[in-house]
A and B are shown apart, each in its own frame.
Chain A
Amino acid sequence: MEALLASAIGLLAAVGIYLTLRLRTFPVILGLTFLSYAVNLFLFTAGRLAVNAAPIVGTTDAPADPLPQALVLTAIVISFGMTAVIMIMAIGGHLQAGHDRIDLDEDKA
């Protein structure tokens, strides 16, 4: 099972990085989303895997590590906020520049 999850994390990260290397804002944002999927799962695995052991008192004696779960919650929320902001920035960039290329031409500054 660990191998399944590890390979999924690796794939999500790879897809994320590939997309962040694109030249338009939208795929880059998707890439960042994928990267955050990978990160969240990775952070989750820091607690090691456990099946049928939700950390709720009274339902189990050997709970899954609750702390990484709490950390992932925080990470999910934060990456949501970030995604929302970069999305509106992408809109703003497109509406102002007339295109959605991510590169800037610094020499034309």
Chain B
Amino acid sequence: MSLALIAALPFLGALLPGLMIRAGRNACAAATGAVTLLALILLALQAPAVLRGEIVQTRIEWLPALGLNANFFLDGLGLMFAGLILGIGLLIILYARFYLAKSDPMGQFFTYLLLFQGAMVGIVLSDNILLLLVFWELTSLSSFLLIGYWKHLPEGRQGARMALAVTGGGGLAMIAGMLILGNIAGSYDLTVILQNKEAIQASPHYLPALILILLGAFTKSAQFPFHFWLPHAMAAPTPVSAYLHSATMVKAGIFLMARMWPVLSGTFEWFVIVASAGLITMVMAAKIALFKDDLKALLAFSTVSHLGLITMLLGFGTPEAATVAIFHILNHAAFKAALFMTAGIVDHEAHTRDLKRLGGLRRLMPVTFAIAAIASLSMAGIPPLNGFLSKEMMLEEAAHVAWPNAWLVGVLATIGALFSVAYSFRFLAHGFLGPVRDDYPHKPHDPGFGLWAAPALLAVLVVLVGLMPNTMIGWLLNPAASATTGRGIFTNIYHWHGLQAAALWMSVAAIGGGLVLLGAYPRLRSLWDATPRPEAKRIFDGLIEPLADAARQVTDSLHNGRFSRSMVVAVVGIGVLATLAFLTATPHAPGTRPILPVDPLVLCLWLVLVVAAFAVPFLHRNRLVALLLTGVVGLLIAPMFAMFSAPDLALTQLSVEVVTLLLMLLALNFLPKETPVESRLPRRLRDAAVAGMAGLGIGGLAYAMMTRQPAFDRISAFHWAQSKPGAGGTNAVNTIIVDFRGYDTYGEIIVLGIAALVIYALSEALLRNPAVTARLASLPKEREAGDRHPMMLVVATRLLLPMAMMVGVYIYLRGHNMPGGGFVSGLVFAIAYLMQYMASGYDWSHARQRYDHHALIGWGVLVASLSGVGAWAFGLPFLTSGFEYVHLWPLEEFELATAAIFDLGVFLCVLGAILLALASLSRLALRTGEGPNTTAHDLEETR
């Protein structure tokens, strides 16, 4: 439990800074520090056991199905790293408290910092590689926030994004690698994986897993060729740099290589990839560091170089080299954190980090100088400081590598060390030595204790470890190294290896060469400045921006709002897939069903229908003609239905068609009456080809289906058989609609109701838009007839309206047994009302109407719902209907069916929906400049 708590504490504590900042900056920092300290104490409590060689474990099930569990373990390596992260974290918090300006939001800073700390601790304590991945990506995210902390700096944003892109991307590769690894080992638990070296290295998936995992590690640790992000991350506030880029985040990759060392190292692939990447990084970054003027940039490249060094050591694959690597991790963390903090102090005091504008600080800031001197000498590998010890051991290891030949690695390592000496001295010489200047942006002096306390403590450690390595650090180094190498070897660290040690001469060469290099610095510098170099930011931008542009082009050209093109793609896509499905099947068996002889009536209808439909594409530009032709087609489909034994369909099609036509005519009043020619002939031909193919396919399918005898009994046999006895009606179509499948109808009338609500809502929105009302008032008008409501129509309607309603009632009542029903009845009523509206105008007619359209819809849905819910009272399901034959004098025997109530709901909903839609359109029409109508017909007023 306690290990999980150590990892969780920073996350839980991340809530504190935001709350405590209200109590002041000290409280905020103190709370943050307390959280870290508590975690450190908890860690320390575990330390004795670990140092005894035990492994502390905590296992919490999270996602057992996948093998992702919150399993933690603590061994020497983990202890060392966790201690480093929390210990240096504590110092950084102290430092940041004094470093951050009053205007900087400190709460946010410490929140991010604790998130980051938690993620780092999580990485080093994870006993589950999937869990490790979670923390791994969390470090990417939280460092993104930290690097971009100063939002106003464009470099900060850039650097943060670059860091996230590189480390996050590497993390994604690592996900794949880890999954492969877990699959080979049969578990995602590290403790299990670490037992499976042979199986893993023998697996054919070893190399891909290795490469993918190393991608994650290299990107995180800024190894060549992924080193470019680190310097740009220096835009972060210095405490961030000091923390992330010396002790923690960049070490995460190193940690991972060390952690995986027992199972992944020792192969030729490992050696070649890891050692070469490390070596190249070490030399190249050290060279660049020499020419950086920004203190932090110099330190950043130096960090890259040192990480390369460590990587190289791990890559050698020998336990000895790995031990040296672990040792150097500790050393580097100490001196580099101190150096970053001094750089921060300089920046804080002198308001610049530019070496060209500095110099002479030795006198102005003696304390800072002392710290800087110790740390940078250690970085240069000057005895007896701790950096010397590990560098000496590194050179020794390098000297013994015999691939690709006996000396190349050694020489290169020496050159790296040489550059290291040079830039370390340059840091010191150009920053602190020399005469005091009078043109600092700000007159510097030593800061308060709070700011230098942390680096000073680190400097002391640098010295002490350098002097008494075994006492100071051996207790930690040995368990850590043996955890890495998997053997209990205990190294004794010596300052002196004897004259015959290759490292001695390499070291001497490095220091000497480094000093020579520094002496020749001005000349080298002009040479460097003259050499064109690839600039990381530009390359990164050159990759990302075109990528984003390309992405934008791809997506925008695909999703450019062109409806017809997306439609063509969709139709062709559907057609191709359907055709493929058809062609790849067992061949379709031609139909066996007897073909119906051609009925001359149908032939007649068919001829008219086909000609009218075929003409539409040619004549559609005149919209009224197109509408006429559509009307012809739609109206002819009705008798077609009738002739194929579907009278209900004929009635419905007919009445729907008329209402549709009226709606379209109403709409056409607001739209242009002509469609301009906008697509060229080839496009039209293409469209015609697409449409023709689709039509051919659909027609073919219809034919294939119609001519085939159904393979099984159809469920409609039940409907037919039960229509009268079960549902109490002789019209099987109607009993299906109101009873067997009444639930479909329930949904269908709600669709209609919603349609009307939508129409109403949109017309409301339109009417509230002044631009729309202005446009309505200025719609182009053709010459209009002088009479709006011709008397003859009004008089005819006075008769036709009641008659139509009579027909409607009739159709409603007979529906259950004969063609008809609530839906058609509603439509007939609607048509009757439409006639009335056409005759006397909407206003006049509506003013005499006693109910509201919304209410009709509401009642319709309610009545239909209630008729369904009523069945619950009898313990029966929704929409269960009952019917009873009632004899009530003087009425003849009639049937009382609850389905009729449902049908009434249908009727109301349909009527209400159509009327509401009409009302909405009429309200729009009112704004076209015509006043409301106050008389039944035109003559009423004149006579």
Which chain A residues have a beta carbon within 8 Å of chain B's beta carbons?
1-30, 33-34, 37-38, 40-42, 44-58, 63-74, 76-78, 80-85, 87-92, 94-96, 98, 100, 102-107
Beta-carbon contact of A14 and B695 below 8 Å? yes
CA distance A28 to B454 in the complex (A): 73
Other A-B contacts than A3-B595, A8-B610, A48-B710, 9 sampled, CB-CB below 8 A, are A15-B691, A23-B564, A27-B620, A40-B653, A57-B720, A77-B656, A81-B752, A85-B755, A105-B560
Interface flag for B920 (CB, 8 Å):
yes
Complex contacts, B596 vs chain A, CB 8 Å = 1-2, 49-51
What residue in chain B is nearest A80 (Cβ atoms)? B656
Task: Give the residue among B671, B679, B769, B921 with the most A Cβ atoms within 10 A.
Answer: B671
What residue in chain A is nearest B755 (Cβ atoms)? A81
Complex contacts, B652 vs chain A, CB 8 Å = 73, 76-77
**CB-CB under 8 A for A76 and B653, given A22-B675, A45-B706, A63-B720:** yes
Task: Among A2, A88, A98, point to the contact of B706 (Cβ < 8 A).
Answer: A2
Complex contacts, A27 vs chain B, CB 8 Å = 620, 623, 626, 675
Beta-carbon contact of B752 and A80 below 8 Å? yes
Beta-carbon contact of A96 and B769 below 8 Å? yes
Task: Among B643, B656, B732, point to the contact of A55 (Cβ < 8 A).
Answer: B732
| 8 Å CB interface, B540-577 against A | 556, 559-564, 567-568, 571
| 8 Å CB interface, B586-603 against A | 593, 595-599, 602-603
Interface flag for B776 (CB, 8 Å):
yes
**CB-CB under 8 A for A105 and B699, given A22-B675, A73-B652:** no
Chain A min CB distance to B716 (Å): 4
Beta-carbon contact of A28 and B667 below 8 Å? no
Chain A min CB distance to B910 (Å): 8
Beta-carbon contact of A15 and B610 below 8 Å? no
Beta-carbon contact of B733 and A19 below 8 Å? no
- Of the stretches B2-10, B274-282, B518-526, B611-619, the one at the interface is B611-619
Can you pick out 19 interface pairs between chain A and chain B where the beta carbons lie within 8 Å of each other? Answer: A6-B703, A8-B609, A11-B610, A11-B614, A15-B616, A18-B691, A21-B567, A30-B620, A30-B630, A45-B702, A49-B644, A67-B716, A83-B660, A84-B756, A88-B917, A95-B924, A103-B563, A105-B561, A107-B560
Complex contacts, A21 vs chain B, CB 8 Å = 564, 567-568, 687, 690-691
Beta-carbon contact of A89 and B762 below 8 Å? yes
| 8 Å CB interface, B756-771 against A | 756, 758-759, 762-763, 765-766, 769, 771
Task: Among A71, A76, A104, A107, point to the contact of B656 (Cβ < 8 A).
Answer: A76
Contact with A along B721-749 (1 / 0, CB 8 A): 00110000011110011000100110011
What is the size category of the interface that chain B forms with chain A?
35 or more
Task: Among A14, A72, A102, point to the contact of B694 (Cβ < 8 A).
Answer: A14
What residue in chain A is nearest B676 (Cβ atoms)? A24
Beta-carbon contact of A53 and B645 below 8 Å? yes
Task: Among B678, B706, B823, point to the contact of A48 (Cβ < 8 A).
Answer: B706
Beta-carbon contact of B723 and A57 below 8 Å? yes
Interface flag for B273 (CB, 8 Å):
no
CA distance A65 to B564 in the complex (A): 38
Chain B min CB distance to A50 (Å): 5
Task: Among B623, B687, B699, B701, point to the contact of A11 (Cβ < 8 A).
Answer: B699
Beta-carbon contact of B694 and A17 below 8 Å? yes
Interface flag for B18 (CB, 8 Å):
no
What residue in chain A is nearest B683 (Cβ atoms)? A21
Complex contacts, B724 vs chain A, CB 8 Å = 57
Chain A min CB distance to B500 (Å): 73
Beta-carbon contact of A65 and B668 below 8 Å? no
Complex contacts, A87 vs chain B, CB 8 Å = 663-664, 667
Complex contacts, B733 vs chain A, CB 8 Å = 55, 66, 69-70, 73
Beta-carbon contact of B695 and A13 below 8 Å? yes
Interface flag for B670 (CB, 8 Å):
yes
**CB-CB under 8 A for A33 and B630, given A51-B596, A77-B652:** yes
What residue in chain A is nearest B670 (Cβ atoms)? A91
Complex contacts, B648 vs chain A, CB 8 Å = 69, 73
What residue in chain A is nearest B561 (Cβ atoms)? A104
Chain A min CB distance to B854 (Å): 16
Beta-carbon contact of A54 and B630 below 8 Å? no
Beta-carbon contact of A66 and B706 below 8 Å? no
Beta-carbon contact of B645 and A55 below 8 Å? yes
Complex contacts, A11 vs chain B, CB 8 Å = 610, 613-614, 695, 699
Interface flag for B688 (CB, 8 Å):
yes
Complex contacts, A54 vs chain B, CB 8 Å = 645-647, 819
Complex contacts, A71 vs chain B, CB 8 Å = 744
- Of the stretches B463-471, B488-496, B633-641, the one at the interface is B633-641
Task: Among A33, A57, A98, point to the contact of B732 (Cβ < 8 A).
Answer: A57
Complex contacts, A30 vs chain B, CB 8 Å = 616, 620, 626-627, 630
Beta-carbon contact of A10 and B695 below 8 Å? yes
What residue in chain A is nearest B761 (Cβ atoms)? A88
CA distance A28 to B754 in the complex (A): 22
CA distance A82 to B596 in the complex (A): 35
Complex contacts, B614 vs chain A, CB 8 Å = 11, 15
Chain A min CB distance to B143 (Å): 34
Interface flag for B472 (CB, 8 Å):
no
Chain A min CB distance to B781 (Å): 15
Interface flag for B151 (CB, 8 Å):
no
Sort A-B residue pairs by CB-CB distance and give the 3 closest, nearest first.
Answer: A10-B699, A14-B695, A104-B561
Complex contacts, B694 vs chain A, CB 8 Å = 13-14, 17
Task: Among B563, B736, B752, B818, point to the contact of A56 (Cβ < 8 A).
Answer: B818
CA distance A107 to B599 in the complex (A): 56
Chain A min CB distance to B585 (Å): 19
Chain B min CB distance to A109 (Å): 9
**CB-CB under 8 A for A88 and B759, given A69-B646, A107-B556:** yes
Chain B min CB distance to A88 (Å): 5
Complex contacts, B910 vs chain A, CB 8 Å = 77
CA distance A85 to B602 in the complex (A): 33
Chain A min CB distance to B524 (Å): 51
What residue in chain B is nearest A72 (Cβ atoms)? B649
CA distance A6 to B640 in the complex (A): 13
Chain A min CB distance to B637 (Å): 6
Interface flag for B1 (CB, 8 Å):
no
CA distance A67 to B819 in the complex (A): 14
Interface flag for B707 (CB, 8 Å):
yes
Complex contacts, B593 vs chain A, CB 8 Å = 48
**CB-CB under 8 A for A13 and B699, given A69-B733, A80-B656, A90-B671:** yes
Beta-carbon contact of A67 and B637 below 8 Å? no
Interface flag for B60 (CB, 8 Å):
no
Complex contacts, A33 vs chain B, CB 8 Å = 630, 634, 660
CA distance A13 to B617 in the complex (A): 12
CA distance A7 to B695 in the complex (A): 9
Complex contacts, A74 vs chain B, CB 8 Å = 737, 744-745, 748
Task: Among B560, B692, B696, point to the contact of A106 (Cβ < 8 A).
Answer: B560
CA distance A19 to B810 in the complex (A): 39
Chain B min CB distance to A84 (Å): 5
What residue in chain B is nearest A46 (Cβ atoms)? B705
CA distance A9 to B937 in the complex (A): 45
**CB-CB under 8 A for A92 and B766, given A44-B649, A54-B819, A103-B564:** yes
Beta-carbon contact of B626 and A18 below 8 Å? no
CA distance A3 to B599 in the complex (A): 12
Task: Among B616, B641, B714, B762, point to the contact of A92 (Cβ < 8 A).
Answer: B762
What residue in chain B is nearest A33 (Cβ atoms)? B630
**CB-CB under 8 A for A22 and B917, given A76-B652, A95-B772:** no
Chain B min CB distance to A75 (Å): 9
CA distance A10 to B700 in the complex (A): 8
Task: Among A24, A34, A50, A105, point to the contact of B675 (Cβ < 8 A).
Answer: A24
Complex contacts, B691 vs chain A, CB 8 Å = 13-18, 21
Interface flag for B846 (CB, 8 Å):
no
Complex contacts, B434 vs chain A, CB 8 Å = none
What residue in chain A is nearest B818 (Cβ atoms)? A56
Complex contacts, B758 vs chain A, CB 8 Å = 85, 88
Complex contacts, A96 vs chain B, CB 8 Å = 766, 769, 771-772
